[in-house]
Amino acid sequence: MTSTVAAAATAERATAGATILIVDDEPQNRRLLNALLLPEGYRTVMAASGEEALGVVAQNEPDLILLDIMMPGMDGYAVAKTLKANELTWNIPIIMLTAQIDRQARLAGLSAGAEEFLTKPVDRAELWLRVRNLLRLKTIGDFLIHHSLMLEQQVQARTATLQRFQSAMDATADAIFLIDHASRRFIEVNATACKLFGYSREEFFKLNPAELSSITQHQLACELDAIVARGAAGSHKELFATRRDGSRVLVEMHRHAIRSGDTVVVVGVLRDITERRQVEQRMYQLAHYDTVTGLPNRMLFYETLTRTLVVAADKAITVAIMFIDLDHFKNINDTIGHAAGDELLSQFSARLVQCVRVRDTVGRLGGDEFAVILLLPNGPQGAPLVAAKIRDTLFAPFSLQGHEMTVTASIGITLYPDDAENAETLIKYADTAMYQAKHAGRDTFRFFTAQMNAEMMARLELEKALRQALQNEEFVLYYQPKVQFSSGRIVGLEALLRWQRPGHGLVSPSEFIPILEETGMIVRVGNWVIASACRQLGTWLRAGVDPVQMAVNVAGRQFVEGDLEAEVRAGLSNNGITGELLELELTESSLMADTECTVNTLKNIKQLGVQISIDDFGTGYSSLTYLRRFPIDKLKIDIAFIRNITSVPDDAAIALAIISMAHSLKMEVVAEGVETVAQLDYLRVHHCDQFQGFYFGPPLPAAEIETILREQKYSPVSLSVRTPETNCL
């Protein structure tokens, strides 16, 4: 093969899938390098030792070698020296791979003939760049060498080589320039360069290279001198280049110098990276900004807060962090859908941004949680003003998928440096203060205090203890009788959850039931209550206790997150009891969650004979629509109306309306929280069906209730007046 044909063939091979020899004694390293190179279209050959590498090269010369230095037997230095000493293989570029970064190792590699180094572990982008540039350098270097030889032989051969080289250059996706160092003029360009910049080849030859980058002739001369001084090592940078029409394009440029006889040529390889940069910016956007609201996400918000605290410390500025949570946001998702929920988040974020100054930062931390960084050079008094402004902006209703919704928010505020000095603690304290705002009734704000932190730590400890309580069998059931007005007999029991916490005694349900509901543990605990209540019913039946209906409270999350029907079926079948002995008590709010699912579940459970009652009636939605849709047997009048039924006309009117409405719908009515004879007489006169409360007695353990049930087998319950006790239902 002539030198002319060899040069053209080499150029074509570099642009149409070069062959790369990977030499490494570690199989995993070879596989990794192979995986990194294949996406770029390169063909790879493997060698596990220096001796094997020389054999591969002798059989089929590769275009480039990735050579590990430290190998048993013949190491990388020896392989490189052998190849560079052979006139047939001296021009194969070698990139040495090493975990050593000391100067002596690099000097030894250069002495052996390596062109480049890569430090393990290998960076993918650096590997691609160095391989690509060395392959092009070899191609162009081969050409220039052959070009010099052919000039000495004949002009015709030179012309053919130039044409072939031009064809190879024109086939590349990158713009390639050859600049004569002495004249500082273009001596060759490829078709990609002409297309990218809008000049013809002839126009390029008349063009001053400085015009492409808007630099002076003196600056161009300095840059070319520096490139020549670096030689094959070249330089790499990103810059904006100027097209013929005056527009600018972002390019990645690699430049290096090649000496051919007395001539020094600077080779420039440019790639348009506009699209790549746009993708990178898009990836950055996705990684740092919320897709629904466009606000900084949790990651970027934390980074911004950390930087802000550094500036605040330097300038002694107060910083307020506001943690904002939309009240009852889940209800919107559950009732009108997640699309409407996302629209609310988007609209709220737009309003929130308008409440702060340009120097402040608003972010979405996730879900319906937002946070704000306020710079307060005049002190913390500005924070309540912003909180009030946020509340004011929520007065106007939101238009969501044809629905108008009014929303409130709970806001927690913490201050730097008063409360803490690092971002993580400040956000945690602001979150704590936000929960205090919710506990205060929502639609308000609270500043963080040390007491709040103590309460939050106690809450976390309580959560941890609750997660262990079920496993450690610390929960127990107490039972409160339901008495029939007409007969004076106990006709039902309500199973009430109690927690026998080690070291604390019997814990009031008001202290732990809300936490079970907020954390979702209520589903597992609720299933345990159903199973335990059914098991107790079965035990009593087998012990000869007369059948009595057992009521069990069911949370809304048991419909959505659990399998309530399956739990009820298992409780009945496992204990040999009929559905008529079980009653499920639901709150009005729980009926509103995932309504279709709730309706279907209750209808299926109703077919088992299980009765359904509404607990705390009159305090929730109180909609006649759901009374008609759901298979309801009983209404329980909330204790709030029973407490003042004989003294507050409005409460009495509500209670009587509930009794009348229930009877007209063929439902029974149960009054809960009856404590006095006056309440009892009033309810009896107005035909309430059943009552429960401290007038008869508090909830009791199973053994004590069993005694009472056996006693009433022979005589009705006496409705004599009892001393009211503190209600701990």
Q: What is the number of other CB atoms lying within 10 angstroms of the CB of residue 235?
A: 14
Cα separation, 377 vs 398, in Å, equals 34
Cα separation, 256 vs 272, in Å, equals 18
From residue 306, give the alpha-carbon distance in Å to each of 412, 416, 420, 426, 694.
19, 11, 12, 10, 56
Cα separation, 365 vs 564, in Å, equals 33
Kindly list the domain boundaries of the chain, sorted by start residue: 3-131, 173-277, 295-448, 474-711
CA 103 to chain centre: 44
Query: Measuring CA to CA, which residue among 609, 648, 649 is closest to residue 631?
Result: 609
pLDDT at 8: 46
With beta carbons less than 8 A apart as the criterion, state whether 363 and 304 touch. Answer: yes
Supply the CATH classification number for the domain 3-131: 3.40.50.2300
Q: At what angle do helices 155-170 and 3-15 cross, to 10 degrees?
A: 0
Identify the CATH class of 474-711: alpha beta
Cα separation, 501 vs 186, in Å, equals 86
pLDDT at 7: 47
Cα separation, 447 vs 295, in Å, equals 24
Residues contacting residue 703 through CB under 8 Å, at least 6 positions apart:
none
Which pTM value belongs to this model? 0.50
Instruction: Determine the longest span between alpha carbons in the chain, in angstroms.
Output: 130
pLDDT < 70 regions, the chain? 1-16, 100-101, 144-171, 232-234, 453, 456, 592-594, 618-626, 713-729
Burial 378-394, CB ≥16 within 10 A → b, else e: eebebbeebbeebbeeb
For residue 272, report the phi and psi dihedrals to the nearest 5 degrees.
-70, 115
Please confirm whether the linkage preceding 514 is cis (ω < 30° from 0): no
The alpha-helical segments, DSSP class H, found in 592-720 are 595-606, 624-629, 639-643, 649-664, 677-685, 702-711
The three-point CA angle 121-124-130 to 5° equals 100
Q: What is the number of other CB atoms lying within 10 angstroms of the CB of residue 111?
A: 12
Burial 675-698, CB ≥16 within 10 A → b, else e: bbeebbebbeeeebbbbbbbbbbe
- Homologous superfamily of 173-277: PAS domain (3.30.450.20)
Cα separation, 235 vs 268, in Å, equals 10
With beta carbons less than 8 A apart as the criterion, state whether 527 and 566 touch. Answer: no
What is the side-by-side strand order in the sheet with 248-260?
A: 185-189, 175-180, 263-272, 248-260, 235-242
pLDDT at 559: 85
Query: Measuring CA to CA, which residue among 247, 248, 227 is closest to residue 236?
Result: 227
Q: Please report the beta strands in 420-510, taking only residues with DSSP state E, as ranges in sequence order.
A: 445-447, 475-484, 490-501, 505-507
Q: What tokens were used for 34?
A: 């192979």
* Exposure of 307 in the CB half-sphere (CA atoms within 13 A): 7
With beta carbons less than 8 A apart as the criterion, state whether 346 and 293 touch. Answer: yes
Query: What region, left, alpha or beta, does residue 468 occupy, with left being phi > 0 and alpha being psi -120 to 50 degrees?
Result: alpha
Query: Measuring CA to CA, which residue among 119, 170, 155, 213 is closest to residue 12?
Result: 170
CA 362 to chain centre: 18
Q: 295-448: what fold?
A: Alpha-Beta Plaits (3.30.70)
Please confirm whether the linkage preceding 631 is cis (ω < 30° from 0): no
Alpha carbon distance, N-terminus to C-terminus of the chain: 99
Q: What tokens were used for 116?
A: 């480049």
Q: What tokens were used for 443?
A: 């639609």
From residue 613, give the alpha-carbon distance in Å to each of 492, 585, 632, 649.
13, 5, 6, 26
